[in-house]
Structure 1
Amino acid sequence: SGVLKDYSIARMLLVAVALAVAAIPEGLPAIVTVSLALGVQRMAKNNAIVRKLSSVETLGGVSVICTDKTGTLTKNKMMVRKIYSGLKEVKDYNNFIERYNKADSNSSKKTLTIGNLDSNSALKLLIDNAVLCNDAYYINKETGQITGDPTEVALIELGSFYSVDKNKLEKDYPRKLEEPFDSERKMMTTISKISTGDNRRNQRYILFSKGAPEVIAGRCTRIIKNGRIENLTDSDKEKIIENNHTLAAKAMRNLAFAFKYLDELPDEEKIKEVEEDLVYLGMVGMIDPPRPEVYDAIEKCKRANIKIIMVTGDHKLTARAIGEELGILGPKDKVIDGTEFDLMTKEKLGKQIEYIRIFARVSPSNKVGIVEALKKNQHIVAMTGDGINDAPSLKKADIGVAMGVVGTDVSKESSDMILTDDNFATIVKAVKQGRVIYDNLKKFILFLLSCNISEVLLMFICIVVGDYIFYLITGERGFLYIPLLPVQILWMNLITDGLPAMALGIDPPEKNIMDRKATKSKEQILSRRRLTMVLWQGLVLTSGALFIYFAGPLFFNNHDLLHDRGIFQTSVFTTLVITQLLHTFNFRFENKGIFRRHIFENKYLNLAVIVSVLLQIGIIYIPWLQGIFKTASLGLYHWSLIIASSVVTILVINFINEIIYKKRKADNNS
Structure 2
Amino acid sequence: MGVVVSTGSNSEFGSVFKMMLEEEAPKTPLQKSMDNLGTQLSMYSFAIIGLIMFIGWMQGKQLMEMFTIGVSLAVAAIPEGLPIVVTVTLALGVMRMAKRNAIVKKLPTVETLGCVNVICSDKTGTITRNEMTVTVLVTSDGYIAELTGAGYNDHGQVLLHKCDYPDRAREGVHQLLEVGAVCNNAIIQNESLLGSPTEGALLAAAMKHGMYNVGETYIRLQEFPFSSEQKIMAVRCISKYDNEKKEFFYAKGAIEKILAKCNRYSINGRFEALTPKKEQEFLGEAQEIGKKGLRVLAMAKGDAYQDMVYLGMVGICDPPRPLVREAISILNQSEVQVKMVTGDAVDTAVAVAQSIGLDTLPSQVLSGEQLDILSETELDALITRVTVFYRVSPKNKLSIVKSLQRTGHIVGMTGDGVNDGVALKKADIGIAMGKNGTDVCKEAADMILVDDDFYTVIAAIEEGKSIFYNIRNFVRFQLSTSIAALSLIALATMMGIPNPLNAMQ
* TM-score for both structures, normalised by structure 1: 0.41
| Contact 2:149–2:155 (CA under 8 A) maintained in structure 1 | no
Decide which structure has greater helix share: 1
Q: CA deviation at 1:288?
A: 2.0
- Residue 369 (structure 2) pairs with residue 339 (structure 1): yes
CA deviation vs aligned residue, 1:552-573 (integer Å, no higher than 9, x gap): xxxxxxxxxxxxxxxxxxxxxx
Identity of aligned residues (%): 45
How far apart, in 2, do the equivalents of 1:290 and 1:376 lie?
31
What corresponds to 1:365 in structure 2?
395
Q: What is the correspondence of 1:451-530 to structure 2 with a 5 Å cutoff?
A: 451-465=481-495, 467=497, 480=498, 482-488=499-505
Provide closer, same or farther for how the CA distance between residues 367 and 5 of structure 1 changes in structure 2, counting only shifts above 3 A: closer
CA deviation vs aligned residue, 1:99-138 (integer Å, no higher than 9, x gap): xxxxxxxxxxxxxxxxxxxxxxxxxxx99x859xx7349x
Q: 1:386 aligns with which of 401, 405, 416?
A: 416
- Residue 84 (structure 2) pairs with residue 22 (structure 1): no
Report the residue type matching 1:483 in the other structure: P
How far apart, in 2, do the equivalents of 1:179 and 1:412 lie?
38
- Residue 322 (structure 2) pairs with residue 292 (structure 1): yes
Secondary structure, counterpart of 1:407 in structure 2: coil
Q: 1:249 aligns with which of 284, 291, 300?
A: 291
CA deviation vs aligned residue, 1:275-334 (integer Å, no higher than 9, x gap): xxxxxxxxxx97322222212211122112222111112222222111001111244653
- Residue 439 (structure 2) pairs with residue 395 (structure 1): no
Q: CA deviation at 1:414?
A: 2.3
CA deviation vs aligned residue, 1:370-397 (integer Å, no higher than 9, x gap): 1222222222222223334433222322
| Contact 2:121–2:414 (CA under 8 A) maintained in structure 1 | yes
- Residue 154 (structure 2) pairs with residue 135 (structure 1): yes
Secondary structure, counterpart of 1:359 in structure 2: strand
- Residue 210 (structure 2) pairs with residue 180 (structure 1): yes
The number of residue pairs the alignment matches comes to 315
Q: CA deviation at 1:466?
A: 5.2
How far apart, in 1, do the equivalents of 2:213 and 2:291 lie?
22
Report the residue type matching 2:475 in the other structure: I
What corresponds to 1:441 in structure 2?
471
CA deviation vs aligned residue, 1:392-445 (integer Å, no higher than 9, x gap): 222322222223223333332222222222332222332232222222222111
Secondary structure, counterpart of 2:479 in structure 1: helix
How far apart, in 2, do the equivalents of 1:248 and 1:4 lie?
82
- Residue 191 (structure 2) pairs with residue 147 (structure 1): yes
Provide closer, same or farther for how the CA distance between residues 310 and 244 of structure 1 changes in structure 2, counting only shifts above 3 A: closer
Secondary structure, counterpart of 1:402 in structure 2: strand
| Contact 2:290–2:348 (CA under 8 A) maintained in structure 1 | no
How far apart, in 1, do the equivalents of 2:88 and 2:406 lie?
33
What corresponds to 2:87 in structure 1?
33
Secondary structure, counterpart of 1:424 in structure 2: coil
Provide closer, same or farther for how the CA distance between residues 130 and 392 of structure 1 changes in structure 2, counting only shifts above 3 A: closer
Q: CA deviation at 1:7?
A: 5.2
Secondary structure, counterpart of 1:291 in structure 2: coil
Secondary structure, counterpart of 1:70 in structure 2: helix
CA deviation vs aligned residue, 1:60-91 (integer Å, no higher than 9, x gap): 22221111111211222258999xxxxxxxxx
How far apart, in 2, do the equivalents of 1:248 and 1:67 lie?
20
How far apart, in 2, do the equivalents of 1:291 and 1:2 lie?
69
What corresponds to 2:224 in structure 1?
none
Secondary structure, counterpart of 2:124 in structure 1: coil
Which protein is bigger by CA-based radius of gyration? 1
- Residue 450 (structure 2) pairs with residue 420 (structure 1): yes
Secondary structure, counterpart of 1:292 in structure 2: coil
| Contact 1:312–1:360 (CA under 8 A) maintained in structure 2 | yes
How far apart, in 1, do the equivalents of 2:377 and 2:60 lie?
69
How far apart, in 1, do the equivalents of 2:316 and 2:432 lie?
28
Q: 1:67 aligns with which of 121, 124, 141?
A: 121
CA deviation vs aligned residue, 1:245-276 (integer Å, no higher than 9, x gap): 9766313489xxxxxxxxxxxxxxxxxxxxxx
| Contact 1:71–1:423 (CA under 8 A) maintained in structure 2 | no
| Contact 2:350–2:360 (CA under 8 A) maintained in structure 1 | no
Range moving further from structure 2, 438-447 or 351-360: 351-360
Provide closer, same or farther for how the CA distance between residues 355 and 16 of structure 1 changes in structure 2, counting only shifts above 3 A: closer
Provide closer, same or farther for how the CA distance between residues 25 and 332 of structure 1 changes in structure 2, counting only shifts above 3 A: same
Provide closer, same or farther for how the CA distance between residues 77 and 55 of structure 1 changes in structure 2, counting only shifts above 3 A: same
| Contact 2:290–2:345 (CA under 8 A) maintained in structure 1 | no
Q: What is the correspondence of 1:74-93 to structure 2 with a 5 Å cutoff?
A: 74-78=128-132
CA deviation vs aligned residue, 1:161-200 (integer Å, no higher than 9, x gap): xxxxxxxxxxxxxxxxx9605899xxxxxxxxxxxxxxxx
| Contact 1:21–1:486 (CA under 8 A) maintained in structure 2 | no
Secondary structure, counterpart of 2:378 in structure 1: helix
| Contact 1:382–1:398 (CA under 8 A) maintained in structure 2 | yes
What corresponds to 2:459 in structure 1?
429
Q: 2:344 aligns with which of 302, 314, 320?
A: 314
User: What's the C-alpha RMSD, in Å, of the aligned pairs?
Assistant: 4.2
Q: 2:359 aligns with which of 303, 325, 329?
A: 329
Provide closer, same or farther for how the CA distance between residues 5 and 391 of structure 1 changes in structure 2, counting only shifts above 3 A: same
| Contact 2:125–2:416 (CA under 8 A) maintained in structure 1 | no
What corresponds to 2:98 in structure 1?
44
Decide which structure has greater strand share: 2
Secondary structure, counterpart of 2:125 in structure 1: coil
How far apart, in 1, do the equivalents of 2:496 and 2:83 lie?
33
Secondary structure, counterpart of 1:76 in structure 2: coil
Secondary structure, counterpart of 2:126 in structure 1: coil
Q: What is the correspondence of 1:583-594 to structure 2 with a 5 Å cutoff?
A: none
Report the residue type matching 1:19 in the other structure: L
| Structure with larger RCO (C-alpha < 8 A, sep 6+) | 2
Provide closer, same or farther for how the CA distance between residues 450 and 12 of structure 1 changes in structure 2, counting only shifts above 3 A: same
What corresponds to 2:173 in structure 1?
none
Report the residue type matching 1:415 in the other structure: A
What corresponds to 2:48 in structure 1?
none
How far apart, in 2, do the equivalents of 1:245 and 1:36 lie?
48
Provide closer, same or farther for how the CA distance between residues 15 and 356 of structure 1 changes in structure 2, counting only shifts above 3 A: closer
Secondary structure, counterpart of 1:250 in structure 2: coil
How far apart, in 2, do the equivalents of 1:244 and 1:339 lie?
19
Report the residue type matching 1:42 in the other structure: R
> Where does structure 1 lack aligned partners over 5 or more consecutive residues?
83-125, 138-145, 155-177, 185-217, 219-242, 255-284, 468-479, 489-670
Provide closer, same or farther for how the CA distance between residues 15 and 377 of structure 1 changes in structure 2, counting only shifts above 3 A: closer
* TM-score for both structures, normalised by structure 2: 0.53
Q: What is the correspondence of 1:655-666 to structure 2 with a 5 Å cutoff?
A: none
Q: 1:356 aligns with which of 357, 364, 386?
A: 386
CA deviation vs aligned residue, 1:219-238 (integer Å, no higher than 9, x gap): xxxxxxxxxxxxxxxxxxxx
Provide closer, same or farther for how the CA distance between residues 36 and 346 of structure 1 changes in structure 2, counting only shifts above 3 A: same
| Contact 1:337–1:360 (CA under 8 A) maintained in structure 2 | yes
